[in-house]
Structure 1
Amino acid sequence: MRLKKRFALSLRNNLRFIPDEVYMRMCFKAKLHYDPDFEHPRTFNEKLQWSKLHYHNPELARLADKYTVRSFVEGCIGSEYLVPLYGTYASVDEIELDSLPEKFVLKCTHDSQSTFVCTDRTEFDFEDAKKRLAVALRRNWYWQGREWAYKDITPRVIAEAYLDEPGRETPTDYKFYCFDGKVALVQTDADRFTAHEMQYFTPSWEQRGDINHEVSDHKPTEKPENYELMLELAEKLAAGIPHVRVDLYNIAGRPYFGEMTFYTGGGYDPFYAEEERPDRLDCELGELFVLQKQNT
């Protein structure tokens, strides 16, 4: 993680004295350059902020936790879609490098920034990874964007299998934007830690060329093998939830579960589209997002 980003995370963690709604309005205006309407939200990002404040379904914490969600996935679609797990650790001191294979992934279960990929143990800076993971374990991700689902997650580190996709340094991530159990948009992220390629597609795999935000100009991502199965799995996992983004991988035609995200981009993603209508996708997704109030 870059020094600038680490500094920003630490700064936000020290702004706990600012009330949630005030903090969220400040971040929203700084990122998207307009004042949000939390009372009558219209856009996707406004509704994500509203959900942070009002949709407090206790199940969200289990599903946002990268460890506890595994039991949900196993019961919903089957354990064959889970990435093999090598270990779960409450402290970085419990991680033994010699017990792990040549290639593996270390990640925190309670945030979205602490992932370390090892493709060669002889070249992997294990001590640096441990130091950064130790810092992350002391941080409550909730305070970064006031994302309610993360507030009470128990911090842990997990070691998972490295998914090897030929021709890629890291496997392509397929992100399914689901609303009440139906996929409305698919985002692909390839080589996200190096030459990041981001593209958007309709559920029928037609490229959304009207979206300009951070989208690469590379040739369109090929439709993955067993794509229809991936759609089916994403919608099963998203059933009964007003909105969730289900992330999957596809290795040699076999889907693997990545994670479930309830606040894409923290609710501050510009989703810029055509010049004459820069908020087009933000509004489009907002129309699909039917809000439900639920407090614990």
Structure 2
Amino acid sequence: MRKIINFICRHCKFARDLRYNIGFIRANRYIPCFKNPQTFNEKINYRKNHPKNELFSVCADKIKAKEYVADKLSSDYVIENYYVGDNITTEKIKEILVEKGDLLLKANHNSGPVYLIKVDATDDEIQRKVDDVNNQLKKDYGKQLNEPWYSDITPRVLVEKRLSPQEGETDIRDYKFHVFKQNDGSFEIIVQIDFDRSGHHSRSFFDDELNWLPFYTVYNDTGVCIKTSIEKPKNYDVMLNAAKTLAEPFGYVRVDFYNVDGVIYFGELTFAQGSGRSRLTNRAYDLWLGQLWQVDPSY
């Protein structure tokens, strides 16, 4: 039955829309109004159905996004590419491991998964990850996610440098800036920080001064203590200003940076946080974030 439903949804936009509307209700636990969206998640879904900014597909492309960042900011923010191509082989990965060390393997036209491959990886592990990424290239993630800008990206393979956590930490710290352009051209920014991704994953939200905001997403692992305070990292203001620069052409975008002891690297640009199904603590916070989103969601 699932295969039949998937087949119908791949070939019928109405079926896809119905499926994702039902998914919205199940995920967010309220009936949406997509014709006159008010909440954050409603506006994300409106954007998915009415995208009008040509830069969505450019900046969602993990390869072209680096060019965008280099042009807008500097190539110093860009993580080094080890390989870009139409496919990848185990032999090529092993060659890069010998020459460059640990690496990250991903496709450029979707939202993951991203594979870490270390120099001590077994042949079976490498082959499994290589096969999966090559198979990803055959799929239209724009239709699967109902995020059409992904469909406009030419699928390719990207192998890039692996960043190491700063001393004393097990994971590289990931700062996600939710940037909302206001009607007067200024910005409102909410900072999302994910902790301990490889262990007991939790997610906290802060304002742009890193004061904790009392809501969270249901993504947090059950029983994990939510972090309510954080020290301002080195060059935080540089990250904040860089996020505004990259976000300038958009009404809303999530700008991700890594900060390794003050050295800042671009992560990605995301135009549909959680694909519009990332439930917040309650609908009031969903509505509050929606009110921060003042510009037409299509852009």
Q: TM-score, normalization: structure 2?
A: 0.86
Structure 2 residue aligned with 1:15: 9
Give the secondary-structure state (helix, strand or coil) at the position aligned to 1:177: strand
Counterpart of 2:145 in structure 1 is: 145
Matches within 5 A, 1:122-137: 122-123=121-122, 125-137=125-137
Distance 2:273 2:297 in 1: 19
- Cα distance between partner residues in 2 of 1:76 and 1:212: 31
Mean alpha-carbon deviation: is it higher for 210-219 or for 101-110?
210-219
Indicate the larger mover: 100-109 or 76-85.
Answer: 100-109
Q: Does 1:95 align with 2:95?
A: no
1:187 to 192, 195, 204: 192
**Residue 177 (str. 1) matches residue 178 (str. 2):** yes
Equivalenced residues, count:
283
Which runs of structure 1 show a deviation greater than 6 angstroms over 4 or more consecutive aligned residues? 8-11
Q: 1:25-104, aligned counterparts within 5 Å? A: 25-93=21-89, 95-100=92-97, 101-104=100-103
Percent identity reads 29
Question: What are the superposed Cα offsets for residues 75-103 of structure 1, whole Å, 9 maximum, x if unpaired?
Answer: 10100001111111211238332123221
Residue 158 of structure 1 corresponds to which residue in structure 2? 158
Task: Check conservation: 1:13, 1:139, Cα contact below 8 A.
Answer: no
- Cα separation, partners in 2 of 1:103 and 1:151, compared to 1, 3 Å: same
- Select between 131-140 and 189-198 the one with higher mean Cα deviation: 189-198
Opposite residue 198 of structure 1, the aligned amino acid is: R
Give, in angstroms, the shift of residue 193 of structure 1.
3.6
Residue 255 of structure 1, CA deviation: 0.9
Per-residue deviation at 1:51?
A: 0.8
| One of 271, 276, 285 as aligned partner of 2:289 | 285
Which consecutive residues of structure 2, in runs of 5 or more, have no partner in the other structure?
A: none
From the superposition, tell whether residues 240 and 31 of structure 1 become closer, same or farther in structure 2 (CA, over 3 Å). same
Cα distance in 2 for partners of 1:155, 1:190 equals 30
- In the aligned structure 2, how far is the partner of 1:64 from the partner of 1:245? 11
Cα RMSD of the aligned pairs, angstroms, is 2.4
Q: Unpaired segments of 5 or more residues in structure 1?
A: 1-7, 273-277
Report the Cα distance in structure 2 between the residues aligned to 1:10 and 1:193, rounded to whole angstroms: 35
1:154-184, CA deviations, whole angstroms, 9 ceiling, x for partnerless residues?
A: 1111111111113444312110001126242
Partner Cα distance (2:4, 2:141) in 1: 11
Matching residue of 1:205:
210
CA distance in 1, matches of 2:19, 2:5: 13
What is the DSSP-based 3-state SS (H/G/I as helix, E as strand, rest coil) of the residue aligned with 2:213? coil
Q: Shift of the alpha carbon at 1:123?
A: 4.8
